[in-house]
Structure 1
Amino acid sequence: MIIPGISTASMLEENRQADFVELTDVLDNTWKGIRNVVNIEKNELYKGLKVGLYFLMLPGIPVVCCVTDVTQKTGRYLNRISFINECFFKPSDDIKESWVVFEDEKKEMFKLKAGKEQHYISPGSTSMYGSVARKEKLLIFADDRRLDVDVGVNNRLIMGEVAHKAQIKNDDKIFTQPFVLIFSDNYLSYDVLKDLKNIEFNPEELDI
């Protein structure tokens, strides 16, 4: 998790805890998984902010729902604060065998190969990560109307980034818009997965 204004080193110095959780969405689905909570007390800019990162699954369904909760007690209004999830993948031991594909504006498949030049692109559609080393693929689906989604490759890594921007009053609690990791052998278009945009969680569920 990246929050502009807090370095990675500073985040690692903050108090954190992890636990197993159950969370029910607005469609009455009960998700189960892991929550990692960071309680920011040492960073003066965001002292009083509590952030929980969730990685959740439904029984028998090959998806991971990723969502963040925020409890805001900094004593001030936070305008356009960003919560950025970076996902780094290893589809193959050889980075040059790895790639990410997505649909372009013409609904044609566009492929970025890792291991060579650096590229950083906002795909505007579902992105799928894979390699010649395995048939299984991993897709990132996110509602790009409410989330900023990017993919990146260079000569050492392949990654995806999902960012949620929020305005949060002091004493407010929020959930960010979820995004979903999907395990599949084939590419699934945005239109096929669009119902996943309806996954949301009620801040009243928060107990941190």
Structure 2
Amino acid sequence: MSALPDWMRPPRDEGWFADDLDRLTEAPRHTELIDGALVFMMSPQRSWHGRIVTALTVALEDQAPAGTVVEREMTIRLDGRNRPEPDLVVAETEYDPDRTWFSPATVSLVVEVVSPETAHRDRTVKVRKYAEAGIVHYWLIEEEAGAPVVHVYELDAPTTAYAPAGIFRGRLERPVPFPVAIDLDALLPARKRTD
């Protein structure tokens, strides 16, 4: 077994801190920090996942009001030991070309598109951490027979936990975090029949 590269060794006994991510230039893309531990996306991204994220980014940008940014694959600094990287972040702030992370106070919506490697974190760990950080809206997108299904959650402030707000197939219409109408079937290219 080969030795770990120096950049993988935590700089202190208690592990990594959120600010350390900006100094880990050798780390792979899509490196997250969960409870002081580095988490890497190791398997190749599936085309389905990439196309959903890209098409949804465009759809949300087209409908977002002024003063709202939609960013893909940008971390949220939840606290000093947690900086997850959701697939999409919608934040009520101005565009900053040098930004490397968002504060949860500015984030109005987080979107995770589930992949086999991220399923457990997206469905359990991240959903709890985003809610505890006070992020009001969370969408979890699953694949069902090749089509996207959006599970929508809203924050129940007294419990700091998410409550289900609907499951959407075919079309998603929501009044929050801003009026949104998305043809979910149009997020993927039309499949050609082979018969």
Instruction: Please report the TM-score for the alignment, with normalisation by the length of structure 2.
Output: 0.28
Structure in which a larger fraction of residues adopt helix = 2
Between the two structures, name the one with larger relative contact order (CA 8 Å, sep ≥ 6).
1
